[in-house]
Amino acid sequence: MTSQDSARLGGLWNHRNFRLLLIGETTSKLGTSVTAVLLPLLAVGTLHASPWMIGLLTAAPWVPWLIIGLPAGAWVDRLPRRTIMLSCNLVSATLLVSVPAAWWLDTLSIWHVLVVALLTGAASVFFSTAYSAYLPSLIDKADLMDGNAKLQAADQTTRVAGPGLGGLVAQFVGSAIGLLFEVLAYVVSTVCLLSIRATESLPAREPRPMVREIADGLRFVTGDRYVRTITVFGAAVNMALAGYQATQIVFLVRSVGAAPGLVGMLVAFGGAGGILGGLAASRVSRRFGTARGLLYVQLVASPFGLLIPLTHEGPGLALFAVGSTMMMAGLVACNVIIVSFRQSYCPPGLIGRVTATTLFVNFSTIPLGALLGGAMNTVLGLRPTMWVVCAGLCATSGILLSAPLRRLRDLPVSQHVPAA
């Protein structure tokens, strides 16, 4: 189906292969969002883990990005992407089944749960890299923005619905048995992937040593001025956002005095903003262009984050709701534009390595930002720290204002097509 056909027949909603990918990925992300609640509840309530172990459990899914993130990109460029995704689903489902099985046999330990979190995180590295590289083989380049917008909106929806659903699952069936919910989600994702009718062709290339292939991805990201600028922007945003996320809940509880139920409601505004940003990205890009749209969204949305440190009890809670909604809407819209640019701009034979390299750089700043946020909370206090991290998110706009982006209307769609 061509772009013209999809537009005439109702867009990507009528694109069978994309619809299957969307259903499978949304179901999988919902399962992951539920598990993100169930694993800590299992560790605290059933295994009586210490705060230090809870910290390790929280960090475990991110650690594999720092260890195997770059090699994963080289493997994704060597092998069929759908095969990698199916294998990751199988591995993750098997690992998660082992937790309720061990609980039923009364042999479950916190170390078992920690290893499962670490290994499913490793599977997620390969799945995420392959998934981003697989989408361009399913739909036309002209549809990438629309496709990524729909996928991001669905992802943000699962982030809003997942924690509440996870709490209900834990309450009615228990945290250990509740992990079977994500196993079922992996089954749905696998069925959807197997049902996709599309021939995936890998670019012909000579086999080379793994180190050289990884170096190719690094060289492309650091040497291309467009990709380099956007990668640095993503890393800076993630560092500030990690500090914000490490601060927001304790800020609402201790500085603002919000009750736990109200805290959950206020945090959900950020997820709702993410949904709006995902849905608005395509329209903004068509109206202003991809490069200007990226700049305008960040310049307009990020200053709303400065309302958050002003939050106080009563009517002042609206400042947090508005600030977090607009800030997250801008960040998600930027992410849609950036991912679509990367998928269309990068050479097909390099897209796995370029994706892995950019994600490696972007995700490596998350632990640093979280640690800095925690340190500033201790030294400066909660409200001053919130000012610092929200101002930091605003300051990242300066990276996008640097050459070459500020003179462009649209980001280039390939290395061989100059930007307008």
Query: Is 195 in the same domain as 217?
Result: no
- Count of the separate structural domains present in the chain: 2
Whether 168 and 256 share a structural domain: no
Using only C-alpha atoms, what is the Rg of the chain?
A: 21
Domain's final residue, options 202, 220, 244 = 202
Tokens describing residue 351: 């897209």
**Can you give the pTM of this predicted structure?**
0.81
Q: Are residues 191 and 257 in the same domain?
A: no
Residue 357 vs residues 17, 139, 205, 211, 214: alpha-carbon distances, Å: 27, 23, 20, 13, 8
Give the domain-ending residue among 202, 221, 245: 202
Helix (H, G, I), strand (E, B) or coil at 257: coil
Alpha carbons 293 and 341: distance in angstroms, whole number: 12
| Residue 364 and residue 260 share a domain | yes
Here the CATH number for the domain that contains residue 233 is 1.20.1250.20
* pLDDT values of the chain reduced to their tens digit, one per residue, 420 residues: 444 444 444 578 788 899 999 999 999 999 988 888 888 888 877 888 776 777 678 778 888 888 898 899 888 888 899 999 999 999 999 999 999 999 999 999 999 999 999 999 999 999 999 988 888 888 888 888 888 888 888 888 888 888 778 878 888 888 899 999 999 999 999 999 999 987 776 666 666 777 888 898 899 999 999 999 999 999 999 999 988 887 887 888 888 988 766 877 787 888 889 889 988 998 999 999 999 999 999 999 999 999 999 999 989 999 999 999 999 999 999 999 999 999 889 888 888 899 889 989 998 888 888 878 888 888 899 899 999 999 999 999 999 888 678 888 999 877 654 555
Is the domain of 214 the same as that of 172? Answer: no
The answer to whether the CB of 72 falls within 8 A of the CB of 362 is no
Cis peptide before 100 (omega within 30 of 0): no
Query: Are 284 and 412 found together in one domain?
Result: yes
Contact (Cβ atoms closer than 8 angstroms) between residue 380 and residue 388: yes
- Residues 43, 188, single domain; the answer is yes
Same domain, 127 and 268: no
Angle at 157 between CA 151 and CA 163, to 5 degrees: 135
Sign for the CA dihedral angle at 191, 193, 196, 199 comes to: negative
Q: What b-and-e string marks burial along 80-119, b requiring 16 or more CB atoms within 10 Å of the CB?
A: ebbebbbebbebbbebbbbbbebbeeeebebeebbebbbb
Write b or e for each residue in 337-372: b if 16 or more Cβ atoms lie within 10 A of its Cβ, otherwise e. Answer: bbbbbbbbbbeeebbbbbbbbbbbbbbbbbbebbeb
The residue out of 181, 202, 223 marking a domain boundary is 202
Distance CA 234, CA 294 (A): 12
Token digits of residue 29: 């992300």
**CA torsion through residues 170, 27, 120, 184, sign:** positive
404 Cα distance to chain centroid: 26
Domain that holds residue 157: 1-202
Examine the domain organization and report whether 166 and 221 are in the same domain: no
pLDDT of residue 6: 45
Residue 232 and residue 195 in one domain: no
Residues 134 and 228 occupy one common structural domain: no
Does one domain contain both 184 and 297?
no
Q: Where are the alpha helices (DSSP H) in 44-198?
A: 51-59, 63-78, 81-104, 110-138, 144-173, 175-178, 180-195
